[in-house]
Structure 1
Amino acid sequence: MSDFDEDLFDGFDEDQGDELVAEDWPTVATPVPVWVLLSGCSPRAFKMYAFLAEHINVNLRDPRKRIACPKQKAIAAILGLKDDRKVARYRKELEALGAIRVEKYRYAGGMRQGYKYFVRYNPPVGYDGDMVLKQFYAGHPEFRSAAKWEGRTEAAKKTAAIPAQGSGSAGEGAAPKPPAPKPSRRGAGGEVALPPDVLKVLGAFRPELRAAMRETAHTDAPKTLVTAVTKALKGRTAEQLVDRVLRRWTTHGYEAKFEAGQLERPVGAAVAMLRHGECPDAGCEDGTVLESGEACVLCIERGKNYKADHAAARKSAKEAAAADARRAARAMVCPSCEQDRGTDGTVCPECVTGMERDVAEAAEKAARDIARMATVPEEWSDARARVLAEAAAAREDARQAGADQLGELLAAQLAARAAAREAHRVRLAALGGDEEVPPPAPDPVPQSAPPTPARPEPVKCSGARWDGSPCGRLTEAADGLCGVCRGAQNVKHEDDLATVH
């Protein structure tokens, strides 16, 4: 039983929404006639017709009763469309086929618009498509082996002998003659009679390719290839297409693929050989203008662009490969000395030893500076241990921050050097280096004495820091040295005396 056997359409007025009207009535209890199935309409258009026709079919008990048309959103849901506005495409397809007829009307005082769908069960006047499956298989001999007919009833063979209602010119009970098959498409015995130009192009394909098509598609003239030939003949003559397929069989590499056993889809290869090239000029035939016989300028430019793009792509790929090789090579060397010492990218033992030795030397230097002080500050009582502790703390902080082995070693090295400089600065400060030599106090100036001459302008210190860089401090001393550099000279003098003794 159909889902629409229930009386779901009560309560509608004549001025509500879209309306569905039966254009004529089927003679058998089937919602979708065979001629619609064989008409070649799209699957969604066929599904829309079946959906509308089923609403008519379940209401045959009372033809006078108004049939509520399903909403466009319901049709979209049946067709699997998210946007119900796309239903119009398949409605127009069914209208062009003659399966339905749509009329607009106004309701609600002319404020709203509705549609009346007139659903046709029998083919319209002038329909020349297939009516029954036998005609379909007659037009597709490649499927004939699959069609096994056991006979049909006389009623099924006379599908077209139904009155075409609403035609206007014919009478109410007049039965139009069944549409005659196309003379150009069908010959005696139901065989397909193709046009001479199509046959000429089909015969131009190499015998080995045609044999391969017969093995895979059971015919050397499948419908897909015939359609491609017919379409190509709209822009080229049969002779030009013959030259095209013969030329492309070799130049496009199909012959080599066939000989190597790599031509898996013979029909697809045949269709591809018929297509127009990539040039936007319709008069271009594989790089040659047909009217003038000269080389196509657009193809020349396209070739230049292709070569330039190909060269750029090759250059980019080459540079990327070189960069990858460099990264791979760097990954194998020591990140500190950048030498391949067999450490697989880790810091080599020589660099580790050198950095640890640098930390130890900084600790020893700080210990020597503090040992020469007369009064040692409490925080520098063990200068060596303090420098080593600061280096270890810096290394641990770097490790927790995610640094690698080299980062940890560098952090420890920098911390040890900074601590050694701080110890040296403390020693210089203890020697009085931070105090400038005070100028002599001036004598009392009598009232009649001349004015005191102005103090000399400060100049930059001529001394050097402990690392050899210029001092740069300002001083007013007569010797041109600041207090820090003067203290450093005194320390050096003491060291020299100790060395002599």
Structure 2
Amino acid sequence: MDGVAFQAEVDRAAGVEGGSAASGNTKPAPPKPAKSRKPRHTHEELTIVDQVLAYLPPQIPAREVRVPAVADAILAAMREGGRSVEEMGGRINARWADHGFADKAAVGPLEKPIGVVIALVRPLRRGDRYACADIHCEAGRNRYTDELCRLCEVRAADWKAAQQRKRAAAGGERDRRDSAPAMPSQRAAEAPVRPLMEDCSGPYCTRSIPAGKGPLCGDCLEQQEAEVASAALAAQWEADQAYAAEQAAADTELAAGLEREAAERAALEEAEAEQRAAAEEEQRRKTAEEDARLRAEFARQHPELAAFSSQGPAPF
């Protein structure tokens, strides 16, 4: 490209017509109206996301992870497995303890809380612990019956059997080597061969660990500790619930006692009012009888005035 063509290209990019600088009379082009963007999630979807985020532990404030990526992960997990909000909450609570996040949070603040939340809610994939082909499997158990997943049992048993076959084959090879003619006496005898790896004794765990370092691998040990901590939390929660129930029962009994006292007070006041009314009625009756007696006595003593005294009270 020669110099003239290059300058023309620069002028065109700068909005200059005819290859010359724009004059002061040139009006700038009006700005293009911004295109309206459709919201990424509906109001109903965000409401469901907020309900799921409410199950997060207090170490992860929901307001800090309420981002589109987390909402996408939650909604995708619910669609893929047909999980409800309550089931997603159970998944969060289980993985928080089983996957070691609770232990990490106990040491210090989590560095990537958004990634932790996505790990708590996403479906498991091949290579993940408890990854299973059964869509109803959740952490090695059927989410409807809470029974141990048969596929996970078979998968773990197959893996351990394969590991045993490999070790048996390696042991046969060592036996063949040991059956060979002895080495010359000047060669040091070979040290007995010990297995380098052994199976983790954790239920349904398919991992191997260095021999003598067991009986549990690091993940199973963390899970065991998390289960103990979860059991302690559950016991504390049950104790708190029992205390709350006792307080509610005490409040109910107190309210019932106050109602009884109010009813007894009202009945006593009503009885007292009836007694006062009866006493006032008795007083009026006695007054009327006394008035009638006085009239009769006055009429007997003054018969000439009887006609005048019959219309009013006694004259004395």
Give me the TM-score of the superposition, normalised by structure 2: 0.39
Is the radius of gyration larger for structure 1 or structure 2?
A: 1
Q: Larger helix proportion, structure 1 or 2?
A: 2
TM-score under structure 1 length normalisation = 0.26
Q: Which has the higher contact order (CA 8 A, sep 6+)?
A: 2
